[in-house]
Amino acid sequence: MLRSLSFLKERSITSCRPFAGTIARKSSEQQTAETAREVKHHENLAGNWWDKKGPMGALHALNEIRVPFIRDGLVTRGNVESRYINTTKVLHGQRILEVGCGAGLLTEQLARLDAHVTGIDLGEELVKTARAHLTDCSAELSSKVQYKMESIEQHTKSHGEHYDAVVVSEVLEHVEDKVALLQDCVRSLKPGGSIFITTMNQTLPMWLGGVVLGEYCLNLAPKGTHHWDKMISPLDVQRILDTMNCQTVLLNGSTYDFWRNTWRWINSTQMCYALQAVKEVPADCN
């Protein structure tokens, strides 16, 4: 799935050797160049980001399942005040960070549920587009949304254990250094908080159906948007999060019906998946 690159880090992943087989290592120079390429690729789409019938159509449609996934995940964990459940302000008081927010498609939808949402992205044009849409089309959300052009590494330095939830949606499949990214995401998360991830699985069906067919035959996304070596299985994501004291509590498979421009949950993670993990609360805090 096409997604913005919001946070990419410019360092190697040699600090996490157990996952070297899954996440290819590159020099810092290579990662910097690859980050710049990814950011530029997505910035070129900024002008059409809010066009539901444009190249972001599938991303718009994904909100139909990912917003409830995040909402219900927070409610189930007891993070939401009971008086707000089943209301339009169900996420009242929740501080959410969206890493790789692009032009704000998901950011605004979470704010509409009364959450305070911070979106970060490295794409200057994407952040400009997000801010412009917020001002011109969603001014009523201005007090609940802020956008920053910075990496997750930079953001976490001043926002450690700050958020009730961190969302990394359609981002991992564009990142070289997944371990470093997730590590900083977890650092910004409060103990007991949730990290929500949606991404593509590294499987042959996903590659053939989602990339070869989707990008090169049906033009559902610009050619060259996705790469096999950047995809990752849910098991590997869980293993990485386990090392960071985050327990996976929910894993759903999903697929995209391009002929209807709709997403649906399925009993398989062979194509795409959504994952929720919860950061451990230190024993002395229980």
Q: Which residue ranges are tagged as binding site?
A: 66, 100, 121, 169-170, 173-174
> What is residue 87's DSSP assignment?
S
Q: How far apart are CA 235 and CA 68, in angstroms?
A: 23
Q: Which two tokens stand for residue 176?
A: 């070289």
Number of C-beta neighbours around residue 12 at 10 A: 16
Separation in Å, CA 99 to CA 119, 153, 228:
6, 11, 22
Q: Which sign does the torsion angle of CA 152, 244, 177, 96 carry?
A: negative
> What is residue 122's DSSP assignment?
S
At 124, which helix (H) or strand (E)? Answer: helix 124-137
Q: Which residue ranges are tagged as binding site for S-adenosyl-L-methionine?
A: 66, 100, 121, 169
Q: Which residue ranges are tagged as binding site for Mg(2+)?
A: 170, 173-174
